Structure 1
């Protein structure tokens, strides 16, 4: 079994290996909630390009290095038409084959008809924060890594699917009868930990206790 930490920070779904220190995971969670709050002031829809642009600009202001931004469209083929497999394929060029396989495996498990109560509660709260209408669903996925110098790195994928489901379980089920098209915006992130630490308490104070309603972390095995 492989160990990982599942993180939800409002609409962002993060995945961290056990070697990432807790203080860096907390920095990721808090900064993502803050950046989303700022982006929402300028863009009502979390599914819009403006929202993603505002979010990444705010991340750069609060001491994340933001680079290698890309925009693309992904369409599943006949053998790869589940949301989990599509996200794995989208991530593979950026995070490598092993990491993308892990990501696909974790996300595929979300379609389990009998999930653990803790995962179910966590994902239900996360799903409620997503941008959805009658024909699409948008959210962000972000695998986290740590480099040899101890710096936290992440690849943030903002995903706008052309399918809509009533809940997270049905969304991550395999649907062999329907191809999937995804508009993808993505960016590389690297946290500058010391400068971030100097503003962390101010951001936490401005967000207040409500921040805890948007952040969940759970150790998982897959």
Structure 2
């Protein structure tokens, strides 16, 4: 049995090896908390171009080297589809074979979660469900590359019944399902991040529990 660590920063969820250094996970968590807060001040809609561009710029200022970013096209020919299936189909091209298996295992596990995972998912979805009929969320792998943090993240916007994370596993009509997606791939410049780290942590001090949560899943 393998394990995977899930870390949520508001509506954004990263999955990583449980053995990944916690300081690298924290670096992603802290910078993402700050970048998403800055983006919300510009436009509260995470599916907007303005939100994504602001978040990307803030992450660059905080030490992330962005290697790829942009809006993605999504086309689906099926009459009905689960949003979770859309998550896989958009994200999988950015994943290794092993990461694809991890993502499939994660989605299977959260479809019928235990009590601990349910609490984590409720935390994540509270920030993802911006309206009763709209959800903005993100998922992607956080890895260690050349002794630093590296991430490939897809940000999704869905206009389906977003009352619960269980909505990810309910089929929706593709004729009515509007999907938006942005991708961002980044590697962390630790020297630059370490210069900003103390000031960054000071700014989010006392607010970490409101924005960051994690759990470990058995796959």
What is the Cα-based RMSD across aligned positions, in Å?
A: 2.0
- SS of structure 2 residue aligned to 1:132: coil
- 1:133, distance to aligned residue in structure 2 (A): 3.0
d(CA) in 2 for partners of 1:106, 1:141: 11
Higher mean displacement: 28-37 or 15-24: 15-24
d(CA) in 1 for partners of 2:123, 2:15: 17
Pair 1:6 & 2:2 matched: no
1:107–1:172 CA contact under 8 A, matched in 2: no
Pair 1:119 & 2:103 matched: no
d(CA) in 1 for partners of 2:131, 2:55: 21
d(CA) in 2 for partners of 1:4, 1:63: 26
d(CA) in 2 for partners of 1:6, 1:79: 32
Correspondence list, 1:23-172, <5 A:
23-78=23-78, 81-112=81-112, 115-147=113-145, 149-169=146-166, 171-172=167-168
Unaligned 5+ runs, structure 1: none
Q: Number of residue pairs matched?
A: 217
Aligned to 1:199: 196
Unaligned 5+ runs, structure 2: none
Q: TM-score, normalised by structure 2?
A: 0.90
- 1:77, distance to aligned residue in structure 2 (A): 4.4
Higher mean displacement: 30-39 or 99-108: 99-108
d(CA) in 1 for partners of 2:201, 2:96: 34
1:73–1:181 CA contact under 8 A, matched in 2: no
Relative to 1, partners in 2 of residues 1:80 and 1:221: Cα closer, same or farther, differing over 3 Å? farther
Q: TM-score, normalised by structure 1?
A: 0.89
- 1:7, distance to aligned residue in structure 2 (A): 0.4
d(CA) in 2 for partners of 1:138, 1:198: 31
2:106–2:217 CA contact under 8 A, matched in 1: no
- 1:39, distance to aligned residue in structure 2 (A): 0.9
